[in-house]
Every structure is written in structure tokens, then in C-alpha cells.
């Protein structure tokens, strides 16, 4: 992904401790990320493991991806603490990206999810300074402004601070850690590449 400094999109709200098996259940890891048609399955099943009562908090019971589709109408996820906990599968941020997610905003992340999101250049893991779950509803339109370090709920007009991405933004913008290493001269191209 090429990082944009401003992302506008509808939000999907989730609670605490959304783990990688909720983001993409293990039963769906049989599909190839390299095959264009099979790759769509990761988008289709993204967040399909979230308990129905929690999906789309605070309202609940809102599907992230409509039945039979592989892209979600939600570009931004607003989550509570410890997003991406569980196993270390890089399929989790990949599935969200395939579904159309450009950014997740949470106060804390599981370290492995955060690194996988950044290293693969899949999406922007923005850190809020507090849980923003009480201030957004699924379907609200938000503006994530990385330059201003804010996320604004267009329904209420309220803005909330996010932490600066620092050097992480360079890796995401380059398309992942290996692309960044090549562009910055840390990794030399080989004749076979």
C-alpha cells in the first residue's frame, strides 16, 4: 500500500482483545495469497470469527463483509485495547487489507500484529491515546489525518489525538520492510530478483 496522509472512510467498531483467529479464522487459511481468486477469500472471511454479539459494537450483529462479497464498506476499524492478539499469522493484516481496510485505530496492539501490518505494508496501525470505541458507531464516517495526528468523527465533528507513526510510516509507504530496505540501500538487488 502507498500510505496516504489522510484517509476518509466508514468505520467498523470492535471491542477489546480481537485476536487473529477472529480476524481470519484458521479454517480459512487454506487459500493461497498468491492466487488472485483464492486471495479474495481472505477478504470474504475477514472478521468472520468475531462473536455476533460483538460485531460492529456498540450496536452488535453488523457483518463486516456482506454475504458473498470480498470487500467491506468499512475502510477504518476503531478498536479497543490489544487488537491482533493471538497467533503470529501475517494473514490477519493481509485479510483486512484485501477486504479494503486502510487503517486500524486502537490504543494498543499485540506486538506481532503491529509488526506484521507494518512489515507487510498491509495497513496503517494508528495508536489512539485512549479507546475511541465510546465515541464512534459502526457506519460513522471518519477522517484519519496523519499529518495533524487526529481522527475526526464527521457525524459529531469531534477530533481525537493519535500518536505519531514515526519511522513506521516510511516502511508502510514503501510497501513493506523488504521494499523499504531495498529503497533505502540496506538490501541490495540481486541479478535474479
- Residues 68-124: pLDDT tens digits? 999 999 999 999 999 999 988 889 999 999 999 999 999 999 999 999 999 999 999
> In this structure, how many other beta carbons lie within 10 angstroms of the beta carbon of residue 29?
16
Task: Report residue 29 CA to chain centroid gap.
Answer: 18
Q: Beta strands 74-78 and 103-106: pairing type?
A: parallel
Question: What pLDDT was estimated at residue 37?
Answer: 95
d(CA 53, CA 16): 13
Taken in order 23, 173, 146, 4, the sign of the CA dihedral is: negative
Q: Is the pTM of this model over 0.85?
A: yes
The domains of the chain are located at 6-183
Q: Which residues of the chain have pLDDT under 50?
A: 193
- The correct CATH number of 6-183 out of 3.20.19.10, 3.90.1110.10, 3.40.50.720, 2.40.50.140 is 3.20.19.10
d(CA 9, CA 117): 19
Question: What pLDDT was estimated at residue 175?
Answer: 81
Question: What pLDDT was estimated at residue 160?
Answer: 98
The answer to whether 144 and 4 have CB atoms below 8 angstroms apart is no
Question: What pLDDT was estimated at residue 183?
Answer: 76
Question: What pLDDT was estimated at residue 52?
Answer: 85
d(CA 12, CA 127): 16
Amino acid at each position: 500500500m502507498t500510505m496516504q496522509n489522510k484517509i476518509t472512510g466508514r468505520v467498523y467498531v470492535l471491542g477489546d482483545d480481537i485476536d487473529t483467529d477472529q480476524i481470519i479464522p484458521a479454517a480459512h487459511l487454506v487459500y493461497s495469497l498468491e492466487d488472485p481468486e483464492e486471495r479474495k477469500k481472505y477478504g470474504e472471511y475477514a472478521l468472520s470469527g468475531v462473536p455476533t454479539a460483538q460485531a460492529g459494537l456498540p450496536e452488535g450483529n453488523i457483518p463486516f463483509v456482506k454475504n458473498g462479497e470480498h470487500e467491506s464498506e468499512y475502510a477504518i476499524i476503531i478498536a479497543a485495547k490489544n487488537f491482533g492478539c493471538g497467533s503470529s499469522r501475517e494473514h490477519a493484516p493481509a485479510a483486512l487489507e484485501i477486504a479494503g481496510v486502510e487503517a486500524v485505530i486502537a490504543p494498543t496492539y499485540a506486538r506481532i500484529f503491529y509488526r506484521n501490518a507494518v512489515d507487510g505494508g498491509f495497513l496503517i496501525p494508528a495508536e489512539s491515546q485512549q479507546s475511541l470505541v465510546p465515541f464512534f458507531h459502526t457506519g460513522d464516517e471518519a477522517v484519519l489525518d496523519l499529518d495533524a495526528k487526529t481522527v475526526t468523527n464527521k457525524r459529531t465533528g469531534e477530533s481525537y489525538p493519535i500518536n505519531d507513526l514515526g519511522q513506521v510510516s516510511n516502511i508502510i509507504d514503501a510497501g513493506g520492510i523488504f521494499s523499504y530496505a531495498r529503497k533505502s540501500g540496506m538490501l541490495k538487488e540481486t541479478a535474479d530478483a
